[in-house]
Amino acid sequence: MKRQSGPFMTIIFACAAALATMIAPLSAAQAQGQPIRLVALGDSLSAGYGLPQEAAFPVVLERALKAKGHKVEITNAGVSGDTSSGGLDRLDWSVPDGTDGVILELGANDMLRGLDPALTRRNIETIVERLKSRNIPVMLAGMYASRNLGTDYVQKFDSLYPDIAKKHDLVLYPFFLDGVAGERSLNLPDGMHPTAKGIEIIVARILPTVERFLARIAQR
Protein backbone atom coordinates (compact mmCIF):
# COMPACT_ATOMS: atom_id res chain seq x y z
CA MET A 1 0.00 0.00 0.00
CA LYS A 2 1.36 3.39 -0.96
CA ARG A 3 2.21 5.61 2.02
CA GLN A 4 0.12 8.78 2.16
CA SER A 5 1.88 12.11 2.66
CA GLY A 6 1.45 15.81 2.17
CA PRO A 7 -1.85 17.67 2.72
CA PHE A 8 -3.84 14.45 3.16
CA MET A 9 -1.82 13.36 6.22
CA THR A 10 -1.93 16.90 7.60
CA ILE A 11 -5.72 16.75 7.56
CA ILE A 12 -5.70 13.30 9.25
CA PHE A 13 -3.43 14.51 12.06
CA ALA A 14 -5.54 17.62 12.55
CA CYS A 15 -8.72 15.56 12.83
CA ALA A 16 -7.11 13.18 15.28
CA ALA A 17 -5.91 16.05 17.45
CA ALA A 18 -9.36 17.64 17.43
CA LEU A 19 -10.96 14.31 18.36
CA ALA A 20 -8.53 13.89 21.26
CA THR A 21 -9.41 17.29 22.68
CA MET A 22 -13.09 16.35 22.52
CA ILE A 23 -12.61 12.98 24.21
CA ALA A 24 -10.36 14.08 27.10
CA PRO A 25 -12.79 16.55 28.71
CA LEU A 26 -15.59 14.02 28.32
CA SER A 27 -13.60 11.40 30.21
CA ALA A 28 -12.84 13.86 33.01
CA ALA A 29 -16.49 14.82 33.28
CA GLN A 30 -17.53 11.19 33.47
CA ALA A 31 -14.97 10.54 36.19
CA GLN A 32 -16.44 13.40 38.21
CA GLY A 33 -20.06 12.44 37.60
CA GLN A 34 -20.67 10.85 41.00
CA PRO A 35 -19.66 12.28 44.38
CA ILE A 36 -17.06 10.50 46.48
CA ARG A 37 -18.99 9.02 49.38
CA LEU A 38 -17.13 9.16 52.69
CA VAL A 39 -18.11 7.98 56.14
CA ALA A 40 -16.68 9.62 59.26
CA LEU A 41 -16.59 6.71 61.70
CA GLY A 42 -15.86 8.03 65.16
CA ASP A 43 -16.93 9.07 68.62
CA SER A 44 -18.30 12.34 70.05
CA LEU A 45 -15.53 14.31 68.30
CA SER A 46 -17.05 13.30 64.97
CA ALA A 47 -20.65 13.21 66.16
CA GLY A 48 -20.56 16.89 67.17
CA TYR A 49 -21.29 16.53 70.87
CA GLY A 50 -22.95 19.66 72.29
CA LEU A 51 -23.17 21.34 68.90
CA PRO A 52 -25.94 21.90 66.35
CA GLN A 53 -25.90 19.36 63.54
CA GLU A 54 -24.56 21.83 61.00
CA ALA A 55 -21.49 22.47 63.18
CA ALA A 56 -20.45 18.81 63.45
CA PHE A 57 -17.10 17.80 61.96
CA PRO A 58 -18.40 15.80 58.94
CA VAL A 59 -20.78 18.58 57.91
CA VAL A 60 -18.15 21.33 58.21
CA LEU A 61 -15.58 19.18 56.41
CA GLU A 62 -17.96 18.44 53.54
CA ARG A 63 -18.71 22.14 53.22
CA ALA A 64 -15.00 23.01 53.15
CA LEU A 65 -14.23 20.36 50.53
CA LYS A 66 -17.09 21.50 48.31
CA ALA A 67 -15.83 25.07 48.58
CA LYS A 68 -12.55 23.83 47.10
CA GLY A 69 -14.32 22.14 44.21
CA HIS A 70 -14.50 18.57 45.49
CA LYS A 71 -17.67 16.60 44.84
CA VAL A 72 -18.15 14.70 48.10
CA GLU A 73 -20.81 13.46 50.48
CA ILE A 74 -19.80 12.71 54.08
CA THR A 75 -21.99 10.64 56.37
CA ASN A 76 -21.70 11.32 60.09
CA ALA A 77 -21.22 7.91 61.75
CA GLY A 78 -19.97 9.36 65.03
CA VAL A 79 -21.44 8.02 68.26
CA SER A 80 -20.79 9.89 71.49
CA GLY A 81 -19.05 7.75 74.09
CA ASP A 82 -18.01 5.12 71.58
CA THR A 83 -14.81 3.19 72.15
CA SER A 84 -12.82 1.34 69.51
CA SER A 85 -14.72 -1.83 70.56
CA GLY A 86 -18.04 -0.08 69.97
CA GLY A 87 -16.91 1.13 66.57
CA LEU A 88 -15.89 -2.38 65.63
CA ASP A 89 -19.21 -3.83 66.80
CA ARG A 90 -21.24 -1.46 64.62
CA LEU A 91 -18.86 -1.35 61.65
CA ASP A 92 -20.97 -3.20 59.10
CA TRP A 93 -24.10 -1.10 59.49
CA SER A 94 -22.21 2.17 60.02
CA VAL A 95 -20.31 1.79 56.76
CA PRO A 96 -22.75 0.66 54.05
CA ASP A 97 -21.83 -0.89 50.73
CA GLY A 98 -21.02 1.76 48.15
CA THR A 99 -18.85 3.77 50.56
CA ASP A 100 -15.75 5.09 48.77
CA GLY A 101 -13.66 5.83 51.86
CA VAL A 102 -13.72 6.03 55.65
CA ILE A 103 -12.20 8.63 57.95
CA LEU A 104 -11.58 6.60 61.10
CA GLU A 105 -11.52 8.62 64.32
CA LEU A 106 -11.67 6.37 67.36
CA GLY A 107 -9.66 5.71 70.50
CA ALA A 108 -10.10 8.85 72.60
CA ASN A 109 -12.61 7.18 74.90
CA ASP A 110 -10.37 4.14 75.24
CA MET A 111 -7.65 6.46 76.49
CA LEU A 112 -9.94 8.40 78.82
CA ARG A 113 -11.04 5.12 80.39
CA GLY A 114 -7.46 3.93 80.71
CA LEU A 115 -8.08 0.86 78.56
CA ASP A 116 -5.10 -1.22 77.52
CA PRO A 117 -3.61 0.34 74.36
CA ALA A 118 -3.08 -3.21 73.04
CA LEU A 119 -6.86 -3.61 72.95
CA THR A 120 -7.32 -0.30 71.15
CA ARG A 121 -4.61 -1.24 68.66
CA ARG A 122 -6.26 -4.61 67.98
CA ASN A 123 -9.72 -3.09 67.49
CA ILE A 124 -8.60 -0.29 65.19
CA GLU A 125 -6.47 -2.62 63.12
CA THR A 126 -9.37 -5.06 62.82
CA ILE A 127 -11.61 -2.23 61.58
CA VAL A 128 -8.97 -1.30 59.00
CA GLU A 129 -8.58 -4.91 57.87
CA ARG A 130 -12.31 -5.48 57.55
CA LEU A 131 -12.74 -2.31 55.51
CA LYS A 132 -9.80 -3.26 53.29
CA SER A 133 -11.39 -6.66 52.71
CA ARG A 134 -14.41 -4.74 51.37
CA ASN A 135 -12.08 -2.63 49.19
CA ILE A 136 -12.85 0.53 51.18
CA PRO A 137 -9.81 2.81 51.77
CA VAL A 138 -9.23 4.24 55.23
CA MET A 139 -7.80 7.53 56.43
CA LEU A 140 -6.70 7.27 60.06
CA ALA A 141 -7.23 10.24 62.38
CA GLY A 142 -4.97 9.70 65.38
CA MET A 143 -5.16 10.70 69.01
CA TYR A 144 -2.58 11.44 71.71
CA ALA A 145 -2.85 10.12 75.24
CA SER A 146 -3.13 12.49 78.17
CA ARG A 147 0.37 12.95 79.59
CA ASN A 148 -0.79 12.26 83.14
CA LEU A 149 -1.32 8.60 82.27
CA GLY A 150 2.39 7.88 82.52
CA THR A 151 5.25 7.46 80.07
CA ASP A 152 4.64 3.79 79.33
CA TYR A 153 0.94 4.25 78.58
CA VAL A 154 1.57 7.36 76.47
CA GLN A 155 4.22 5.61 74.37
CA LYS A 156 2.05 2.57 73.74
CA PHE A 157 -1.06 4.58 72.93
CA ASP A 158 0.52 7.31 70.79
CA SER A 159 2.43 4.80 68.67
CA LEU A 160 -0.51 2.64 67.68
CA TYR A 161 -1.83 5.06 65.04
CA PRO A 162 1.41 5.60 63.06
CA ASP A 163 2.21 1.90 63.39
CA ILE A 164 -1.14 0.84 61.90
CA ALA A 165 -0.92 3.51 59.20
CA LYS A 166 2.55 2.35 58.18
CA LYS A 167 1.63 -1.34 58.20
CA HIS A 168 -1.48 -0.86 56.08
CA ASP A 169 -0.28 2.08 53.95
CA LEU A 170 -2.96 4.46 55.22
CA VAL A 171 -3.21 8.22 54.96
CA LEU A 172 -2.60 9.42 58.53
CA TYR A 173 -3.53 12.63 60.32
CA PRO A 174 -1.51 12.23 63.54
CA PHE A 175 -3.64 14.19 66.03
CA PHE A 176 -7.30 14.96 65.40
CA LEU A 177 -7.40 17.73 68.02
CA ASP A 178 -4.29 19.51 66.77
CA GLY A 179 -4.55 23.24 67.49
CA VAL A 180 -7.60 22.79 69.72
CA ALA A 181 -6.65 20.49 72.61
CA GLY A 182 -5.94 22.45 75.77
CA GLU A 183 -7.29 25.72 74.35
CA ARG A 184 -10.06 26.75 76.74
CA SER A 185 -11.73 29.14 74.29
CA LEU A 186 -11.97 26.42 71.64
CA ASN A 187 -13.57 23.79 73.86
CA LEU A 188 -16.88 23.38 75.62
CA PRO A 189 -16.93 23.82 79.42
CA ASP A 190 -16.02 20.14 79.84
CA GLY A 191 -12.62 20.96 78.34
CA MET A 192 -12.72 17.93 76.03
CA HIS A 193 -15.15 18.66 73.21
CA PRO A 194 -14.50 21.38 70.62
CA THR A 195 -16.76 24.36 70.16
CA ALA A 196 -18.03 25.24 66.69
CA LYS A 197 -14.95 27.44 66.28
CA GLY A 198 -12.78 24.55 67.42
CA ILE A 199 -14.31 22.31 64.76
CA GLU A 200 -13.56 24.92 62.13
CA ILE A 201 -9.91 24.91 63.16
CA ILE A 202 -9.79 21.12 63.09
CA VAL A 203 -11.25 21.12 59.59
CA ALA A 204 -8.85 23.79 58.34
CA ARG A 205 -5.87 21.80 59.63
CA ILE A 206 -7.01 18.37 58.50
CA LEU A 207 -8.19 19.54 55.07
CA PRO A 208 -4.90 18.98 53.14
CA THR A 209 -4.69 15.44 54.49
CA VAL A 210 -8.29 14.71 53.49
CA GLU A 211 -7.56 16.08 50.02
CA ARG A 212 -4.62 13.70 49.78
CA PHE A 213 -6.98 10.89 50.77
CA LEU A 214 -9.45 11.93 48.07
CA ALA A 215 -6.66 11.94 45.50
CA ARG A 216 -5.74 8.40 46.49
CA ILE A 217 -9.37 7.30 46.16
CA ALA A 218 -9.61 8.91 42.72
CA GLN A 219 -6.57 6.97 41.52
CA ARG A 220 -8.14 3.61 42.31
Q: Which residues are catalytic?
A: 44, 190, 193
Nearest Cα to 72, choosing from 35, 109, 115, 114?
A: 35
Cα-Cα-Cα-Cα torsion 63, 69, 75, 77, nearest 10 degrees, comes to: -70
Q: How far is 127 from 112, CA to CA, in rounded Å?
A: 20
Q: How far is 158 from 65, CA to CA, in rounded Å?
A: 28
Q: How far is 151 from 128, CA to CA, in rounded Å?
A: 27
DSSP string, 159-193: HHHHHHHHHHT-EEES-TTTTTTT-GGGB-TTSSS
- Are 37 and 98 in contact by the 8 Å Cβ rule? The answer is yes
